[in-house]
Structures are given as C-alpha cells and as structure tokens.
A and B are shown apart, each in its own frame.
Chain A
Amino acid sequence: MITKEYIVKDPLGMHARPATSLVKLGKNFKSVINLRKGDKAVKINSLLNILSLTIKGGETVSVVIEGEDETEAAEAINLFFTEQLK
C-alpha cells in the first residue's frame, strides 16, 4: 500500500476537468486508488464522488493506492498532482 499527501495547487481546486483526467488515469491501473480529504475517502473511479469532496486550491489531500501495480500507479498519480493540477 502506498500513501502520499499532496497540496492542490490549482487555485480552482479539483474542478471538473482535472477530476475527469484523474478518473481516466485511474482506469489504466488495476490497483484500488482512494482519494481522501479530511475523514472522507472516495474511490477515484467516480467523477461525482471526487467532485463531492469539494477539494479547493491549497487544500491537502491524501492518496492511498493498493494493488499489484501500485508503484506505477503512484508514479502516475504523482505526475498528475505535481504537473497537471496546477
């Protein structure tokens, strides 16, 4: 299991467009990927669930990845948060 924290850099937060990319990204991996904000966690396979977390710019989220390809998935997620969502 891999857990990592990120600060969301995009001032608009996790809005529809990046959330869509995140759902699509998750589909490439077998691992179960959870996104957590505060005490609420959702699977990233659902756009609605991701948006319902209402993640704003500057907030901290954590990602929990578990599965056979978790290392690759973690790398892709890392790229997403550090380069796409800004």
Chain B
Amino acid sequence: MKGIGVSPGISIGKAFVLKKHEAAIIGMLLKNDMEVSAETEKFNKAVDSSVAEIESIKTNEELILTDEDLAILETQIEFLSDPQLKEDVLEKISGEKKTANDALIDVMANLVELFRNMDDEYMRARAADVQDISDRILKHLNGSDQDLKKQFESNTIIIAEDIAPSDTITMDTRYITGFATQVGSRTSHAAIIARAKGIPAVVGCGDELGVIEDEDVIILDGVTGLVHINPDQATIDDYMARQDVYLKKTEQLKTLKNTPAVTTDGARIMLSANISGADDMDDVFENGGEGVGLLRTEMLFMNRDGFPSEEEQFKFYKQVVLKSKGKPVIVRTIDIGGDKQLSYFGLAVEQNPFLGYRAIRICLDRTDIFITQLKAILRAGVFGDLKIMFPMISNVEEVRAAKEVVAAAKKELTADGVAFNAEVQIGIMIEIPSAAITADILAKEVDFFSIGTNDLCQYTLAVDRMNEKITHLYDPFNPGVLRLISNVIEQGHKHHIYVGMCGEMAGEPTAALLLLGMGLKEFSMSASSVPSIKNIIINHSLSSAQDVCKKVMEMDSSQKIIAYLQSIS
C-alpha cells in the first residue's frame, strides 16, 4: 500500500487503530418549547465543557506543548465559541425542532463539505479541524470516548482515517513510532505534528488502510510512503537494516557539529546561517554553523510605532555580535518595502511592490533613516566581526551612493568621539539580474558579494513567487539562473572578493555539489540545514564538484539538470 511520505524515517511496530466515534442522527423531533430550551441548554453546556476541556489541555503541565500546538488549541477554542456555529445550531433546534445532537451533525456536515470542496489544499485540510470540534462537542453531548491519554505500548503505530489536531496533542507520543492515515496531505495536522516530533508518517493511504486491525505488524516508510501490513520476516529484516542505516545517518549528521566543512581534497568551505536576532545564535552553533551569512534587520523595525533609535539598534546588533563568538556576521541593511510594510512609515500601495520603492531605494532616498542604522552597526562593530551588506543593488551608482552614506556616518561618529569599527567590510546582495550580469563592474566597489537566489530567481524568470499558478516556473535550476550565479562567482574570484550565497538554494542538498563546483565559498542557510550540506561537502572533492558543474553547465534544461544532480546525490 502506498501513501504520501510526509515525515522521514522508517518505523516498524504494532498497529493501534484509532476509532472515530460514529456520529449518528437520532431523528427524533422536539415536541414543545420546554424540550427546545432543554436541548438549547444541553448544546450550550456541551460547548462550554468542550472549551473547558481544551483549556485544561492547554494548562496541563505533563504535556509538552509547542507554540504550534498552542496555536492549534487557540483556533479550536475560537471554532467552538463561534457565534455563527451557535446561531446555526440553535436555529435548527428552535426552528426545525431537532435535537442538539442532530442539529450539530447537520450543521457540521455542511461545514465539512464546504471545506472539503474548497479549491485550496490548505483549506481542504481544515475540514479535519471542523470534524474534530464536531466530534468533541458530540462527545460531551453524549458522553463516552476512547481514551487517548492512555499510555501506549512501545513501538505503536497509529492508524487512523485522519488524526485530529487535539488527538495529536493529547496523545502521549513517547512510545508512538509512526502515523498512517487514510486522508491528508503535507499540510495536514498529522504531517505537521509528525515532522515536529520527528515521528515517521505516511498520509493519504486511502480506504485500503481500513483493513488494518489492532496488533497487526506494520512497516512504514516516511520517505517513499510505503506501508506494509503483516510483512514476512525477510521484509522485516530488510527494513530493520534500512532503519539502522537511517538512524546512523541522522546520528552521524549530529556528530558533524564540530567537524570543519572541508572537501576531501582540502578546500575549506564556510557554512553559516541566516538569522533574525540574537536569540537564533545558539541554534546556529548547535548545528555546526560557523557564522552568520545574513542577519535580517526587519524585526528591529516591525511591530512598533516608529523607527528605532540609534541606541536601540546599537543594542540589537551588539547582542548579536556578543553571542557570535568572534565569527563573522553579515548585517543586511533595511529591506522594507515590497511585501514588508511598516505601519508608521506610510508607503503607497504599488502595482508591482517587488519592482517598487523598497530596500536600498528607500535608504538612498531617506538617508536620515539609513545613516542612523549605519552608525549603530559601525558602533556595534567594535565588539566583533560585523560586516555591512546592501540589498537590492541594481547598478554601480547605488553602491557608490550607499558607501558615501557610510563615510558620512563614520565622519559623524568621529566628530562625536564615539568608538566604531573604521575597517568594516562592505558588500552587496546580488539579487537583481543587472547586478549579476555586471558583477565584474560591481566587484571593484565592494569587499564581498552574497547571492540572494530567491529574488534573483524571481526577477530573472519574471515569476512572482507568491503566485500559485506559476510556481512550477520558479526554478533556481533554470540554466539562465545558473549562468548568472556562475558569472557572479567567477567575477568574484577574478577580482579577489569573497562570494557567498544566502538564498534558499544554499541549503538545498541537490544544489550543493553544483555550487561547490562553481566555486562558492560560503553557503548561508537556515541553521537546521547546515548538517546535511556539511555532510555532502566533507564527502566530496572540489575537483569532482567542478566536473559536476562542467557537465551541468552544458545541459539545456533544468529537468535534465535536476535529474542528473539527484542521480549523483
């Protein structure tokens, strides 16, 4: 049987079939007003105790709830206390003289149907939330349930039609080694929770899953989506060996923490992380990151009433640099505008915000805002290795103008007698095609480049990243994008400046060898991706990566390129 593997790993265990409380219509009609008010009260009470139950889950200290779990519970409370839901149910009780049980089943069936038919995968997945709260209220209306707070035997695999959010949260998952469901997708709760807890899971197996009974032996492959029911000993042995390999691999990745990222032929590569503040720093080192390739500064400007003062900004950068253990930290200057708006800084609604007044364009127009940030960064630079990076550069004039503002900031600090790092390195993001093509010109102006693949890809391919209809065109392996990236790295080498990458592509295992072969020196990604990229780098030579790169650059389509890169990884 095959479903969709949504949480990697292999699990072998015994089935526990989650039985859904079957909702049944009673069909009896209410005779008089007294019965109507009794049923109304019954419904209200069931809702109240349902809410109370969730509140008690929220505050139960034995359950270790993540922020994600809490958000799910909050949503459930809002669903339960929804005025529209209440109005519809009470209308059926008083108008159609239905019992609370029947009225609720009616209303919920319509809602579940409504969500299931939505043309959006995420919204369809919400049918499960609606079903979940419906079941909960019904349980309180009628009493009785299967107790999920029970302790499972070790190596239990949960088999269910779907797993409701409240199920996964209340379940004691310590001994659960897998989930398999009939319905669902990558965005359903079962998938999200399984990934968060690191439990292998397969969803969308279809009705066939219904044949499984309690205590059946199950093998689940969370990558391929295969589910085996009562397999023979040879299959079990085979999967036990595979499970062993998988566990060893994850374990090994963890041990790479202190291993430097050096290729088998001795090329030293820098693996760093993209962060948003000092709090993210621990995670960087925990995963074996060696610095920060991108410190986003938007956090500093958002969720407030006005621009932060130089002092406030100085504290923010200083906190980061103090936690960086002397490793380099690249600070990207203000990148607002486009899809990131500030309530206190009125930006007009634009037809094409990604092509509009944003980032360095705002900074060079409003140098008062820009210089405040630059002064704060320069001052914090005294405490460690901070570098400044300008986003959205499209031509050399912008670089020169931005550097002039840096010079002005230094002059003001000198005049005020404040300590700052006069030697701070300055770089630019390469995310606009014109910048990638003229990398030879820009390289003469700066100390480093950092390739922002997300925007570079969007601008090069004329593909709006937010538009679902054209996501298939958003493709960093498009030969056009690859040629731009290759040119940037080559020109960087020619002019002896450092070239890194801070877009999603840097953390993509499929792209690692290709980028290494192109000569990329720094890969900056989300901290959790560092171990797997490091594993690729330490097991390959730079010269073999160069061969890979040569082959790829001769291919004519991303389809061939991706197929080739996957075949060698």
Contact = CB atoms under 8 A, between A and B. Distances in A.
A15 B122 contact: yes
Given A20-B74, A54-B119, A78-B343, 11 more contacts: A7-B349, A11-B466, A45-B83, A46-B82, A47-B79, A48-B130, A51-B126, A57-B468, A75-B343, A83-B341, A83-B343
B369 interface: no
Kindly name the residue among A51, A52, A75, A79 whose own CB sees the greatest number of chain B CB atoms within 10 A.
A51
Instruction: Please list the 6 inter-chain residue pairs (A to B) with the smallest Cβ-Cβ separation, ordered nearest first.
Output: A46-B84, A82-B341, A47-B78, A20-B75, A16-B75, A20-B78
Contacts of A52: 114
B74 A51 contact: no
A13 B125 CA distance: 14
B345 to A, nearest CB: 10
Interface string A38-60: 00000001111101101011100
Nearest to B111: A48
A69 to B, nearest CB: 18
B78 A49 contact: no
A30 B78 CA distance: 19
Interface string A5-47: 1010101110111011001100000000000000000000111
B343 A82 contact: yes
Contacts of B468: 11, 56-57
A51 B111 CA distance: 11
Interface string B124-164: 00100110000000000000000000000000000000000
Nearest to A84: B303
Given A24-B78, A54-B120, A49 B84 contact: yes
Interface of A: 5, 7, 9, 11-13, 15-17, 19-20, 23-24, 45-49, 51-52, 54, 56-58, 75, 78-79, 82-83, 86
Given A56-B120, A78-B343, A83-B303, A48 B129 contact: no
B118 interface: yes
B339 interface: yes
B223 interface: no
Interface in B56-109: 71, 74-75, 78-79, 82-85
A83 to B, nearest CB: 5
B212 interface: no
Contact of A16 (B111, B120, B126, B349): B126
Contacts of A75: 343
A17 B75 contact: yes
Interface string B448-473: 00000000000000000111100000
Contacts of B466: 9, 11, 57-58
Given A47-B78, A58-B467, A13 B343 contact: no
Interface of B: 71, 74-75, 78-79, 82-85, 111, 114-115, 118-120, 122-123, 126, 129-130, 302-303, 339-343, 349, 465-468
A12 B349 CA distance: 21
Contacts of B74: 20
A9 B339 contact: yes
29 contacts: A5-B349, A11-B466, A11-B468, A13-B123, A15-B122, A15-B123, A16-B126, A16-B129, A20-B71, A20-B74, A20-B75, A24-B78, A45-B83, A46-B82, A46-B83, A47-B75, A47-B79, A48-B79, A48-B82, A48-B84, A51-B126, A54-B118, A56-B120, A56-B468, A58-B466, A75-B343, A79-B343, A82-B341, A86-B340
Nearest to B126: A16
Contacts of B82: 46-48
Contacts of B118: 54
Contacts of A15: 122-123, 126
Contacts of B339: 9, 86
A83 B79 contact: no
B122 A12 contact: yes
Contacts of B343: 75, 78-79, 82-83
A19 B118 CA distance: 17
A54 B401 CA distance: 45
A72 to B, nearest CB: 13
A1 B79 CA distance: 28
A25 B341 CA distance: 20
B335 to A, nearest CB: 13
A19 B122 CA distance: 13
